[in-house]
Amino acid sequence: MEKLMLLPVFAQVLLTSVVMILMGRRRIKAAKSKEINMSAFRTMDLTGANEQVIATSRNFDNQFQMPMLYIFSVLFCLQLGLADLTFLVMSTVFVALRYWHTIVHIGSNNVRLRFRVFLLGCLVLWLIWIRLLVLAFI
């Protein structure tokens, strides 16, 4: 079960990598078309950049927020020997929601849908941490 717990983590790392590549491509395209000056990236002042560049940049930043709490939960779960099917399913659901959130964020950017998916991801992450706390100390 321990090795299986790493699969959703690898999927999250893949998502972060894909968003990073897409962000780079969109930034280069915007810079080449003179839509944004390369010096803007020194301070990350993306004023004037198109919505795709901004959304992808923000989504990349998002990959280092809640997903980091998720990855720490997996590390604790593995270290404490608590890996089981429930944690695996919860992990898979969390990462699937992160994919969905990313698709919405850098695609249609439907804020209402994106927020709902974000809240679902938060709920799953909270449940992971609550379960981890209960199993570790009770």
pLDDT in tens, 75-85: 999 999 999 99
- Two structure tokens written together for 104: 């919405």
CB-neighbour burial class of residue 18 (10 A; exposed 0-12, middle 13-18, buried 19+): middle
User: Residue 40: pLDDT above 70?
Assistant: no
Closest CA to 60 of 86, 30, 108, 26: 26
HSE-up of residue 112 (Cα within 13 Å, Cβ side): 0
Neighbours of 7 (CB within 10 A): 13
Mean of the per-residue pLDDT values of the chain: 93
The architecture of the domain spanning 2-137 is Up-down Bundle (1.20)
This prediction has a pTM of 0.91
**Residues 67 and 97 sit within 8 Å (Cβ to Cβ):** no
Domain ranges of the chain: 2-137
